[in-house]
Amino acid sequence: MTSHYFENLLVKLHYYKYGNGPNAMLCFHGYGMHGKQFRILEEKLGAKYTFYGFDLFFHKETKLVNQSLEHIKRGISKKELAELFIQFCAHEHIGQFSVIGYSMGTHYATAIVEQLAQRINEYIVAAPSALNPGVLIRFFSTNKIGNKIIEKLAHSDKAILHFLDFYRKLRLIDSKNHEILLNEIGTRELRLDFYASLTYLRFLDTDFVQLEQSLQQHQVKSIFVFGKRDKMYPKKIGNFLIPKLKSAEVIVLDENHELINKNFADTLSAILA
C-alpha cells in the first residue's frame, strides 16, 4: 500500500493505493474512518482491482483549499464532486472504474454514479445511508434551523450531551446509535468536523429517479450490502429502489452497522472474484 496526494483548486486529497489489478475501484469510507477501511479486500481481490482509498472531506489528511466557515456553508454540488473525480481519474490514467462506499461514503459513491454512470462498472454500497439517511441527518444538514442548532452544539460540550440524551429519551435514537454518536462527536474538534461534513455534503442527497435511470441505462452492476442487525440502515430502506433494478444483488450479513470486516470481505470477494 502506498500513500499519495492529488491537488486541485478545491482540495488536497489524500488517498491510499493498494492492490495491482487491471480494474480500478474508488473507495469511500464511513464517517470517522479513513482511506484504508477497504484494505480488507486486497488479499482476495488485489489481483483483479487496484483500490484507491480516499480520506474523505474533513477526515485525516484531506484538506480543503478554502477551510473557511463561509465556504463550508456554501457546500459542494454533485457536479463539482464529479468534476473532482474526473480530474483525479485523469491524474491516475483511469478510464472505466467501480465505486464502493460504506455508510456516509455511499453518498459520495451514489452522487458519482448519478453523474458519471457511463464510466461505472460496479456500484457497491454497504449500510447505504444514501438510500435513507434518517430524520436527524436530514434535519441537521438540509433544514436551516436544524443546521444552525448543530452549529451551536458543536461549540458546547454539555449541550451536545444533553441533546443526545433528550433524543434517546424520545426514542429517536437507540442506545447503540447514542453510543456511536458520542464516539463521533466527543470532542470540540470532532463536533466541528461532524458539523462541516453534514453541511458541506448536504447537496449530495440522492435523486432516486436519476440514480435508477443511470444504473439501468448504463447496465451498471449494483450490489447492496446490509447488516441483519443494523438498526440505522436496515434492508427495508432499499425496498422502493432495488426491485426496480435489473442488475442488482442484495447481500444481508449477520452483522450490525459496523460490517466492514472479514465476513464482508469474504462474501463480497466470492461475488466479484
Q: Can you tell me the distance from the alpha carbon of 273 to that of 250, in angstroms, rounded to the nearest whole number? A: 17
User: Domain check: are 66 and 17 in the same one?
Assistant: yes
Same domain, 94 and 117: yes
Domain termination residue (choose one: 182, 198, 214): 198
Give the domain extent around 178.
135-198
Question: Are residues 43 and 115 both part of a single domain?
Answer: yes
Residues 92 and 226 in one domain: yes
Question: Could you tell me if 95 and 154 lie in one domain?
Answer: no
Residues 150 and 59 in one domain: no
Confidence class for position 132, pLDDT limits 50, 70, 90: very high
Same domain flag for 119 and 42 = yes
**Joined grid coordinates for residue 153:** 452544539
70 near 43, Cβ under 8 Å? no
How many domains does the chain fold into?
A: 2
Tell me how many degrees the CA angle 106-177-28 measures, rounded to the nearest 5: 20
Residue 236: burial class (beta carbons within 10 Å; 0-12, 13-18, 19+): exposed
d(CA 210, CA 234): 23
Predicted TM-score (pTM) above 0.75: yes
Q: Could you read off the pLDDT of 11-68 as tens digits, one per residue?
A: 999 999 999 999 999 999 999 899 999 999 999 999 999 999 999 999 999 999 999 9
Q: What is the pLDDT of residues 211-248, one digit of tens each?
A: 999 999 999 999 999 999 998 899 999 999 999 998 89
Whether residue 80 contacts residue 8, with contact meaning beta carbons closer than 8 Å, is answered with no
Last residue of a domain, one of 146, 174, 198: 198
Between 271 and 168, name the one with better pLDDT.
271
Residue 114 or 187, more confident: 114
Q: Which helix (H) or strand (E) holds 48?
A: none
Give start and end residues of each alpha helix (H) in the chain.
Answer: 42-45, 69-74, 78-91, 105-116, 135-142, 144-153, 157-169, 175-184, 188-200, 208-217, 262-272
Domain boundary among 173, 198, 223: 198
| Together in a domain, 261 and 232 | yes
The answer on 194 and 116 residing in a single domain is no
Same domain, 121 and 175: no
Q: Is the same domain home to 145 and 115? A: no
User: Do 221 and 124 lie in a common domain?
Assistant: yes
Amino acid at 238: G
pLDDT for 243: 96
